[in-house]
Structure 1
């Protein structure tokens, strides 16, 4: 049996000197996000050659699950209030995927 899911790939480019703070906040955000009912996975990676570049891979049961994530208290408090102000820029892409049985 196969099903579809909603994949989000975010690229965060951090202001100089904010790499450590953003890494810490992403750790908190990942832990909280993984408890959401519609979340299938939440991982993030920090660039080796460019430590100011973070890639976040998020997977939800559907687009509504991602919308609920964006409205969650932890995303509002950590994402909007703590992480986003420390970024130079960000790019968020979304895709629909299918699991293969």
Structure 2
């Protein structure tokens, strides 16, 4: 059985930067979705706290995620335009099995 490498990124933007960060995330998502190893890239803005952003990414392998972090768009859009505008950032990774998993 194969697996999927999943990434959950939790951001909190600095005051006054959320709209700009969301614009750049739109560009990042479009570029990332074109990467051969990417399965999906989605992001969501918090309702209770609109400065919170959650990013959900899936890749075929951890190596594909590593390639994403070395891509030109990550190094320019992410590292230059998004990350400096964050008050906090936490990235967590998970492996999920492809296909149905039965509960015990």
TM-score, normalising length: structure 1: 0.96
- Structure 2 gaps of 5+ residues are none
Counterparts of 1:81-100 in structure 2, within 5 Å, are 81-100=80-99
Structure 1 residues not aligned, in runs of 5+: none
How many Å separate the matches in 2 of 1:98 and 1:72? 26
Q: Report the count of equivalent residues.
A: 100
Greater gyration radius: 2
- Residue deviations 1:59-95, cap 9 Å, x none? 0000000000000000000000000000001000001
Q: 2:56: which partner in 1?
A: 57
Q: Secondary structure at the match of 1:26?
A: helix
1:14 aligns with: 13
The equivalent residue for 2:31 is 32
Structure 1 residue 48: Cα displacement: 1.1
CA-atom RMSD in angstroms: 0.8
The CA distance in 2 between the partners of 1:73 and 1:47, in whole Å, is: 28
Could you tell me how far 1:49 is from its partner in structure 2?
A: 1.3
Runs of 4+ in 1 over 3 A off after TM superposition: none
Q: CA deviation at 1:3?
A: 2.1
Name the CA distance, whole Å, in 2 between partners of 1:21 and 1:93. Answer: 24
TM-score between both structures, scaled by the size of structure 2: 0.94
